[in-house]
Structure 1
Amino acid sequence: MAKYEELIEALKSINPEEAARLEEEIDIIIHKLKFLPVESFSNVILLNQQEDFEPYTSTAIAEKVKIAGGSLMESLDSNPDKIIIIQRDESLYSTLPLLLSQPVIIHSKAFANNAIYIIHRSEFDKKDTDYLSDTEILAEILQPKYFFYGRDGIDWVKFEIN
């Protein structure tokens, strides 16, 4: 059973309205992307500032990325289409030049296509109650032609290389 399905089941007994809303919103995202060809799904890697920019992986984040229209990569060597950096404190921007100067990043499709993003929402992927907001953030980044939730500039930004 998927994590979001577990959350919906758990919510049904304590907050049926929220359970219905979560189910409806996730179903809408899934349905919108159902008809896209496989090549429309970006290979993405998340790098966690808190963990020295190691790839950020978990079953839950992989599921959120998949629902949002992407495929989670576990290594920069996989040449991701998009790189998403999870910001955990204000020192990020002083360390970005060093991170972005790494050859594996410079030679990636993400770098070449100016597809570097920063999620600066402090609670990103920390609480089950934020499952939908986390998925919406990822959907806006991964499939911007299909999703607009107004989170750009609030919860995430595109980092302009050029």
Structure 2
Amino acid sequence: MSHETILQGVDNAELREVFTERLELVEHKLKFIESMPVAFVGMSNEANLALLPYVEAAGGMLVDAANLGVYVIYGEEGAGLNKLMSQVPALIDQEWQAVKNNRVALINLDFYNLEEVKDRVSFVEDLAEILHPGFFIFGNEGNAWIRFGN
């Protein structure tokens, strides 16, 4: 996958190289890992399809309904982790594969300014860590995102 969408706006060659290396590190590890169906939803349980390039770069295949995801990630602008933790339990269905397998995560989209390339790259890294635990550790778990167990 091309990283152009994520790297858009980086004119400084050194910075572009640093961000490209970070994305290529994720991409290299993902060559050996199966891509995961991911539902990225907000508090209305509607899929956020605008995040497709980030999910794909992190080794996911974005699906358009929560019940189709091997992983379900809840995130909405203006809804921090505390708000998500208090409201998500009422939104999930115990029959979803992701819920049965304890693969639900909450992410604070306000932690990332997706207008900034450094945050877009961090967002990809964090999504890769959520989707492929044990393969990636970038250090934002607990601050930007958490695993949500039921």
Which TM-score bucket, shorter chain as reference? 0.7 to 0.9
CA contact (8 A) 1:86 1:120 kept: yes
Contact 1:86 1:118 in 2 (8 A): yes
Provide Cα deviations, 1:104-156, integer angstroms capped at 9, x if missing partner.
x3211101001110002414473242210110110110111211111111110
Is 1:42 aligned to residue 36 of structure 2? Answer: yes
**Structure 1 stretches of 5 or more lacking a match?**
none
List aligned pairs for 1:71-82, cutoff 5 A. Answer: 71-78=61-68, 80-82=69-71
Q: Residue 17 in 1 paired to residue 9 in 2?
A: no
Shift of 1:6: 5.0
CA contact (8 A) 2:5 2:53 kept: no
Q: Distance in 2 between matches of 1:8 and 1:127?
A: 11
Mapping 1:102-117, distance limit 5 Å = 105-117=93-105
Alpha-carbon distance in 2 for matches of 1:110, 1:16: 40
Q: Gapped runs of 5+ residues in structure 2? A: none
Change (3 A) 1:9 1:141: closer
Q: Secondary structure of 2:49's partner?
A: coil
Using structure 1 for the length normalisation, give the TM-score.
Answer: 0.79
Identity across matched positions, percent:
27
Paired amino acid for 1:126? L
Deviations 1:80-115 (A, max 9, x none): 111100043243333223212xxxx32111010011
> For structure 1, which segment, 117-126 or 132-141, has the greater mean C-alpha deviation from structure 2 after superposition?
117-126
TM-score of the superposition, structure 2-length normalised? Answer: 0.84
1:139 aligns to what?
128
User: What is the letter of the counterpart of residue 27 of structure 2?
Assistant: I
With over 3 angstroms needed to count, the CA separation of the structure-2 counterparts of 1:95 and 1:17, relative to structure 1, is same
